[in-house]
């Protein structure tokens, strides 16, 4: 099972964190077309999250064309989901970076200072952050 990192305090709804992480896993190739996802019940127990939250995330992923229901089997990654999820990943991250950069500029930092901060964070975090491909956190 893929690794989920849910943070109830990061300002992003839990169901949306699940949606993003599934899309990122598909974009990265951790989840492959045709691959079966864990059931709502299993994922709910594993993450200690309300099953309705998981179900809502899965419904959103189906509506977005990332997952499809296979009768009697569960939800699988759609055959053509990879490229769409790569595009979605880029859009999500661009939007979040734009918000942070806007806040930094509004706070009086120069473009040079922001670049320095971003590069130092990349150097500090690269290789130290678990990815959706990290596998189980058990």
Residue 117: which CATH number? Answer: 1.10.10.10
- What is the per-residue pLDDT across 69-84, written as a single tens digit (0 to 9) for each? 999 889 999 999 999 9
Q: State the total domains in the chain.
A: 1
- Within-domain flag for 22: yes
- Within-domain flag for 65: yes
- Within-domain flag for 114: yes
Confidence of residue 136 (pLDDT cuts 50, 70, 90): very low
- Within-domain flag for 138: no
* CA distance to 29, 110, 121, 122, 124, per residue, from 127 (Å): 18, 28, 12, 9, 8
What's the longest Cα–Cα distance across the chain? 56
- Within-domain flag for 26: yes
Query: DSSP 3-state assignment of 132?
Result: coil
Kindly give the interhelix angle for 111-125 and 81-106, rounded to the nearest 10 degrees. Answer: 130
Q: Is the pLDDT of residue 138 over 50?
A: no
Instruction: Name the average pLDDT for the chain.
Output: 91
Compute the distance between CA of residue 112 and CA of residue 27 in angstroms, rounded to an integer. Answer: 31
The pTM score is: 0.83
Residue 108: give the domain boundaries: 14-125
- Within-domain flag for 5: no
pLDDT at 118: 94
- Within-domain flag for 64: yes
- Within-domain flag for 3: no
């Amino acid at each position: 099972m893929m690794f989920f990192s849910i943070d109830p305090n990061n300002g992003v709804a839990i169901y949306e964190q699940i949606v993003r992480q599934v899309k990122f896993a598909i974009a990265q190739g951790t989840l492959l077309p045709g691959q079966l996802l864990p059931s709502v019940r299993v994922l709910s127990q594993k993450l200690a999250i309300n099953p309705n939250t998981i179900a809502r995330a899965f419904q959103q992923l189906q509506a977005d064309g990332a997952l499809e229901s296979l009768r009697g089997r569960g939800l699988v990654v759609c055959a053509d989901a990879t490229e769409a999820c790569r595009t979605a990943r880029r859009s999500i991250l661009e939007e979040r970076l734009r918000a942070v950069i806007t806040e930094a500029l509004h706070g009086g930092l120069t473009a040079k200072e922001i670049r320095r901060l971003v590069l130092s964070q990349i150097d500090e975090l690269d290789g130290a952050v678990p990815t959706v491909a990290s596998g189980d956190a058990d």
